[in-house]
A = this chain, B = another copy of it.
Amino acid sequence: MFPRSPCQINCLHGSDAELISLDCDSKAPIAITVDSIAEEIAAGLYADPYLAGWMGVMASMSDLAAVGAEPFGIIISEILPRGMPQDSIEALQSGIRDACAVCGTYVLGGDTNTGNELSITGCAIGRTGKRRNLTRIGISPGDLLYTTGTLGAGNGFALNLYMGASEKGFLFRPEARLKEGQMLGDLAAACMDSSDGVLATLDQLMRLNNTGFQIDSGWQDLLHRDSRRLASLSGIPEWFLLAGQHGEFELLFTVRREDETRLHDRASREGWEPLRLGRATSTRSITINISGKEVIIPTGEIRDIALGSGSDLEANVAGLQGIHDRIMTDSLLFDDTRMR
């Protein structure tokens, strides 16, 4: 319903951050993004105000990372509950400060309101440099799918709380992959952060690029170790760590097959190791090996379950369990044709 700016380079939903060319010539655009941390707080995930502050910064910094931008800084609007204790406010601000320090960036300003519920909105701004723009779009069948790090920490953290354990027992402090994103700028074909979980991210990339993904067998080895152990302990199928919508803020990206060596060489020089997760296919579906069966994951249905259950983690797990049961009884035969 909104007209598009002639200076906007990315198409709608086409990149994690909006890319705006200052001179409308598509060179060296400004990257800008906004993320509110509200539902996660309301759901009890970020009861620790330090974590709420941390995430208020990292959520939008991760968007900048996914377009390969270098941040200038962040402006933050806080809605503080009336009567919020002073030490909670200080913890919140410490989380913001520390997250900025880790990202090598700054709080540029902000706005404070009072309300009934805590929410933190971060608006990050950065610059992408004078090269090809890194967006979510550009994947070809045969491209290789990578992640900047292990997967499932966000959902493992949520699972830990769901199991009734304390937040302290499972530290969740994702760090936006800024350095990696900048390195990928002229190397990756497409990139998106996994803030909504791995399968939701792949689902979005699939729809935008009209390609599919085949997840490599052995994907379990890419899982965040503590999260995997927790899933095992609680009897929850490991693939739920990819399906839950509380992401790990890694970057999922693809490279052309011929760029794979260059990727590893460059990453190695920078001191990190890209992890191969799978490859892009021409079929619009996401396939993964679960308990020895190659299955098509109904990502549309998973998204509907997440939408329907909102912040009710129990309902979400129950919905996923229904899909899992169908996988196990061979009844999951459908292709995910409900594309929207």
B-binding residues in A (CB < 8 A): 1-5, 7-8, 17-18, 20, 22, 30, 32-36, 38-39, 42, 72-73, 75-77, 79, 82, 93-94, 96-97, 100-101, 105-111, 113-117, 119, 121, 123, 125, 127, 310
Contact = CB atoms under 8 A, between A and B. Distances in A.
A4 B105 CA distance: 9
B38 A113 contact: yes
B72 A108 contact: no
Nearest to A37: B113
A118 to B, nearest CB: 10
Contacts of A119: 79, 113, 115, 119
Contacts of A4: 106
A101 B106 CA distance: 32
A101 B93 CA distance: 36
27 contacts: A1-B93, A2-B97, A3-B101, A3-B106, A4-B106, A7-B72, A8-B108, A20-B73, A20-B108, A20-B125, A32-B75, A32-B123, A32-B125, A34-B75, A34-B76, A34-B111, A34-B123, A35-B77, A38-B79, A38-B113, A39-B113, A39-B114, A39-B115, A79-B119, A116-B117, A117-B117, A123-B123
B77 A8 contact: no
When all copies of this chain in the complex are counted, the total is 2
Nearest to A28: B22
A72 B8 CA distance: 9
A115 B42 contact: yes
A109 B15 CA distance: 10
B109 A18 contact: yes
B125 A2 contact: no
Nearest to A119: B79
Contacts of A35: 77, 111
A174 B77 CA distance: 22
A308 to B, nearest CB: 12
B7 A114 contact: no
A108 B115 CA distance: 27
A243 B136 CA distance: 50
A86 to B, nearest CB: 13
Given A2-B107, A42-B115, 9 more contacts: A3-B106, A4-B106, A8-B108, A20-B73, A32-B108, A34-B109, A119-B119, A123-B123, A125-B125
Contacts of A3: 97, 101, 106
* The 4 residue pairs across chains A and B that have the minimum distance between CB atoms: A5-B106, A123-B123, A2-B107, A18-B109
